[in-house]
Amino acid sequence: MYQSHNQESYLPDLPGVKDPDKAYDPKKNVTLVGLRLAQKLEQDGIGAVHSDINYPATEKNFYYPYSYKYSLKTLQEASAAHPDLKFYFDIHRDSQRRDKTTVTINGKDYAQLYFIIGGKNPDWKENEQFASQIHQALENKYPGLSKGIFAKAAEGNGVYNQNFSANSVLIEVGGVDNSLEECYRTADLLADAITEVVLNVQKVDGGAAEGDAKDGGKKTN
């Protein structure tokens, strides 16, 4: 788990901030959502590695358009340090408003998920297939929590480092008007869906899912 735009934040957790274009913070931000996701995966028996790098603070002459260049280095370093890493999740926050990023399930509000695929990645269909498995697992249990999958090619980065691995996906968790509490609820359900997909992949790859799960599973980034 990592966050290319790590300071993306949520207005309800930023006292005095009302402008959605200023929903950024060095401490209260989407990094906490990525951490929650990693913690829940660990609880589910799936080993997880979480990066909390604050790029604007650590990169000399930080330049926002280079965000994916910075996070690629994070991926490379994590992969070198943990050779068993197989799954990579870049956690973001959507810029849309509450009515387009919130769903109520059993009387509680949840931040919706949106899977973004880099359409300029030559192998983007493999990443889309991976995202589809997670989306479907969510749909089966929590219809409406996921807004689906969008392949971006005409705007933005277009690749999002997804050429690094077929099991890589960018996930937007909530929007500027969602609270961290709503995002945490969603992260817990997302972890359950990811766990289901990871264990299925392990069964296909080697039939060792049960043993891996008991031993902590494969590292997930």
- CA dist 66 and 149 (Å) reads 24
Q: Quick check: 117 pLDDT over 50?
A: yes
Count, in order, helices (H) and strands (E) of the chain. Answer: 6, 6
Give the number of other CB atoms < 10 A from CB of residue 204: 9
- Tens digit of pLDDT for each residue in 17-33? 999 999 999 999 999 99
Mean pLDDT of 78-97: 94
Q: Quick check: 118 pLDDT over 70?
A: yes
- Tens digit of pLDDT for each residue in 186-220? 999 999 999 999 888 766 565 544 434 333 333 44
- Tens digit of pLDDT for each residue in 100-110? 999 999 999 99
